[in-house]
Amino acid sequence: MKNFISAHDVPDIDGLVKSALAYKADPFKDKSLGANKRIGMLFLNPSMRTRLSTQIAAQNLGAEPIVFNVDKEGWALEFEEEAIMSGNKVEHVKDAAPIMGNYFDILCIRTFPSLKNKEEDYSELYINQFIKYSGIPVVSLESGTLHPLQSLTDIITINEVLGKAPARKPKIVLTWAPHVKALPQAVANSFSQWVTAWGKADFVITHPEDYELDPKFTPGATITHNQDEALKDADFVYVKNWSTYNDYGKIYTNDPEWMLTSEKLKATNNAKVMHCLPVRRNVELSDEILDGPNSIVTQEASNRVWAAQAVLADLLRGTSK
């Protein structure tokens, strides 16, 4: 891999899952792979799981992670080419990124979308400018449209639950859930992209009308507005809110009927319930599910370490600075 931005950067998803599970079994087996290597972690937005798990992963490999909260501690960055910087942006990414390329061996970046300008968000301007100007491998810690470390973790967790030789293809359902804020489509886009690229599941997406995702992320998925129908015989239910894509960044409905409950779960094949976290309890997902036996959200979030470790190890093997 040159960068880790989307499922398309990964030539062998099963190989990466296998590598992650091998790190879970033996976290320090490559403890010298990252010796004398520095991993820059830039946050333009908040994080708990992504930040901590990637730091732990880097340390397990013997590399030194350095966190920089750009949103709170850095200069405001300009990303547009040929910008006349007479506003509140202090430094151009063209000047900052090459310096980071010299300081670090791998650069990891979290940069959320504005949800105001669809063209800009979906062009992935911010992360692409870091790729263009840093000259080192770039890892997405969640970008405008995708969250690949989360999705890799999700595939790892599904594999773990299924075991080595599943009797049949699992049915995986991604269901929209209510939320009080307009949230990015990144986790839903990314989960869809990874499940379809992985290709080992029957994949159904269910959401209210007018919440269609960008079709480029959902090839081959069955899409329905009927949540009850979608949930029938599901083995995994992935719960996530997202704001509208077509009329970009809006909340059209907050219908509590879309919240997953134990009653609704009865239609499934005793499905495991997943969520990337953080979760708004009793808005997105009920207490009874989150605290019940079907929830695997803690296992899922804990697996973030092994996903990050597999990705960083792959990129470290390719670095030769």
Residues that bind ligand CP (CB under 6 A): 47-50, 142, 150, 276-277
Give SS3 for 182.
coil
- Beta carbon nearer to ligand CP, 147 or 264: 147
Name the closest residue to ligand CP (Cβ): 50
* Cβ atoms of residues 17 and 115 within 8 Å: no
Which residues, 6+ apart, have CB-to-CB distance to 237 below 8 Å? 173, 175, 231, 260, 265, 268, 271, 272, 273, 274
Which residues, 6+ apart, have CB-to-CB distance to 159 below 8 Å? 17, 21
- Beta carbon nearer to ligand CP, 265 or 297: 297
Cβ at position 306, least distance to ligand CP in Å: 15
- Beta carbon nearer to ligand CP, 230 or 289: 289
- Beta carbon nearer to ligand CP, 223 or 277: 277
- Beta carbon nearer to ligand CP, 48 or 180: 48
Cβ at position 147, least distance to ligand CP in Å: 6
Please give the Cα distance from 147 to 217 (Å, whole number): 12
- Beta carbon nearer to ligand CP, 29 or 181: 181
Count of residues making up the chain: 321
Cβ at position 209, least distance to ligand CP in Å: 27
Cβ at position 288, least distance to ligand CP in Å: 22
Q: How many CA atoms lie within 13 A of 188 on its CB side?
A: 27
Cβ at position 295, least distance to ligand CP in Å: 15
Cβ at position 49, least distance to ligand CP in Å: 4
Please give the Cα distance from 155 to 161 (Å, whole number): 10
* Cβ atoms of residues 39 and 61 within 8 Å: no
Please give the Cα distance from 260 to 280 (Å, whole number): 12
The Cα angle at residue 43 between residues 42 and 46, in degrees rounded to 5: 160
